[in-house]
């Protein structure tokens, strides 16, 4: 009886190949990390539209917005652009999504980037709808 109950309440995934469609979909979701479906690779062009700019004391400059193309990773060199002009070149020190730190974000993600520049005057230079591009 104990072996039967243990078998019923076991949370180990089935390995006999007789998975339902829902179990198969869940397993695929758990094993694959969401990436952009546009075919953009990690090393190619990436773009981020800025919504808000913050300066956090003892942390630095934070920009929030949406990734509109490609993939951004911690440590990427970026340029902040307005129109055709490059305003600033810097590096991504950290990426945060919904209060969780992550190593990279892909197309469609809403995220915040902590920049390596710690100059509080940059807040006046960077504005809403400026574009961040990977260099």
* Nearest residue to 47 (alpha-carbon basis) of 107, 96, 129: 107
pLDDT at 36: 45
56: pLDDT confidence band, cut at 50, 70 and 90? confident
The average pLDDT across 26-34 equals 57
CA distances from residue 63 to 12, 67, 97 in whole angstroms, order as listed: 42, 12, 12
- pLDDT band at residue 11 using 50, 70 and 90 as cut-offs: low
| Confidence at residue 34, expressed as pLDDT on a 0 to 100 scale | 46
Domains of the chain: 47-134 (2.40.30.10)
| Residue 22 main-chain phi, psi, to 5 deg | -65, -45
Q: What percent of the chain has pLDDT over 90?
A: 41
Mean pLDDT of the chain: 80
Average pLDDT score over residue span 61-70:
93
If you average pLDDT over residues 107-133, what whole number do you get?
87
Q: Please determine, for residue 68, whether its predicted confidence score (pLDDT) is greater than 80.
A: yes
- pLDDT for position 117: 81
Beta bridge partners of 69: 47
């Amino acid at each position: 009886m104990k072996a039967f109950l243990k078998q019923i309440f076991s949370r180990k995934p089935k390995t006999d190949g007789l998975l339902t469609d829902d179990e198969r979909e869940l397993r695929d979701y758990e094993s694959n990390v969401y990436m952009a479906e546009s075919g953009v690779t990690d090393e190619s062009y990436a773009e981020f539209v800025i919504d808000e700019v913050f300066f956090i004391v003892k942390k630095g400059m934070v920009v929030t917005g949406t990734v509109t193309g490609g993939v951004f990773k911690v440590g990427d060199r970026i340029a902040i652009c307005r129109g055709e002009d490059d305003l600033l070149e810097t590096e991504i020190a950290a990426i945060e999504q919904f209060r969780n730190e992550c190593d990279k974000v892909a197309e469609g993600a809403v995220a915040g980037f902590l920049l390596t520049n710690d100059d509080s005057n940059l807040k006046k230079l960077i504005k809403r709808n400026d574009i961040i591009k990977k260099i």
